[in-house]
Amino acid sequence: MYFAIRRLLFQLDPETVHHLTLGLMRIGGIQPLNGLLRKIFAAPSKPVEAFGLTFKNPVGLAAGYDKDGLAVRGLSALGFGHIEIGTVTPRPQPGNPKPRVFRLVEDEAVINRMGFGKNKDTPLEEAASDYIALMQSFTPLADYLAINVSSPNTVGLRRLQGREMLEQLLGAVAHERERIILGRGGHRPILVKLAPDLSDEELEDAVGVILDCGMDGIIATNTTLAREGLRSARREESGGLSGSPLRVRSEAMLEKIVQGVHGKVPIVSVGGIMSPEDAKRRLGIGATLVQVYTGLIYRGPRLVREIVNAL
């Protein structure tokens, strides 16, 4: 049934469809529709322990779909073990000019240049203030926090993955977390999301800093700037590429990170997970949790339950 609906949706502008489906998910948070969705998309319980938390299953929704946390109740009815909202910025900003989302149907991929991370007009040298402000707002509300330093759609943001800048940023984040804990604001695990385009040396530096600064986990990976092997006429659009073409690159990055962390922190794998087989392979490589997004666009919401059933 989803593939019949998909044919209609794919006739529309991708960002229009995104807002349409997000609106439907907001409605899906209201009873009795929420209860009906839970029956339709129920996934079996396959608990996973990570970061001091218990997840009902290892499949999550990747960041970027529900940037403003508008549809959490509806999305939670689709069988996910966790949902990342955001990326959230301290101050409202319009994002990059439209059009900024493109389907590459021949490649089962999406290119987006929505724009997020720190606020676009915050200098890199002051980026820590944005992340700290968000920590102060969301520590009481979230189960864990994700530090995004890897979006390709905010100018200069990926430079924060370099050793010196990452040490400064995560050092400030760690200090703020201790301040919040001492003020009895509670402890929240902090994960760092990395790009798939880092060189081996850059990745080694980033992983080392993440471990040295006491972060609780790594999310691997964000979207890629690479365009090798694409067939779609949209392949030259600027922005981050997600979907099937990211699979190999994201898996290779996961393998390197697993080797680099030596079991010290859990890893969340995301990028190019389009099927239950993809998810099983990531968990087999060493990920503790997986996340999907573009796979939902091409396979539909039943993908979550299919993955959990296959584990």
Axis-axis angle for helices 276-285, 247-261 (nearest 10): 20
Q: What is the pLDDT of residues 127-161, one digit of tens each?
A: 999 999 999 999 999 999 999 999 887 878 898 98
CA 129 to chain centre: 22
How far CA 154 is from CA of 123, 149, 191, in Å, comes to 11, 10, 19
The backbone torsions φ and ψ at residue 64, rounded to the nearest 5 degrees and listed phi first, read 110, -25
The residue type of 260 is G
Count of beta carbons in the 10 Å neighbourhood of residue 145? 21
- Mean pLDDT of all residues in 246-261: 98
Which pLDDT tens digit goes with each residue over 261-278? 999 999 999 999 999 999
The superfamily in CATH containing domain 2-310 is Aldolase class I (3.20.20.70)
Q: Where are the domains of the chain?
A: 2-310
Alpha carbon distance 116, 85 (integer Å): 12
The answer to whether residue 95 scores a pLDDT higher than 90 is: no
* The pLDDT value given to residue 7: 94
82 pLDDT tier (thresholds 50, 70, 90): very high
Q: pLDDT grade, residue 86 (50/70/90)?
A: confident
Non-local CB neighbours of 79 within 8 Å, separated by 6+ positions: 41, 42, 43, 57, 59, 301, 304, 305, 308
Widest distance between CA atoms in the chain: 54
- The sign of the dihedral angle between the CA atoms of 176, 180, 181, 187 is negative
Sign of CA dihedral 133, 151, 12, 72: negative
Q: Give yes or no for residue 120 having a pLDDT over 90.
A: no
Looking at residues 4-9, what average pLDDT do you find? Answer: 94
Catalytic residues: 151
| 116 has pLDDT over 80 | no
Say whether 83 sits in a helix, a strand or coil. Answer: strand
Instruction: Give the span between the Cα atoms of 248 and 58, in whole angstroms.
Output: 21
Contact 134, 172 (CB under 8 A): no
All residues at 6 or more sequence positions from 65 whose CB lies less than 8 Å from its CB, including other chains: 18, 22, 75, 293, 296
CB half-sphere exposure, 190, CA atoms < 13 A: 28
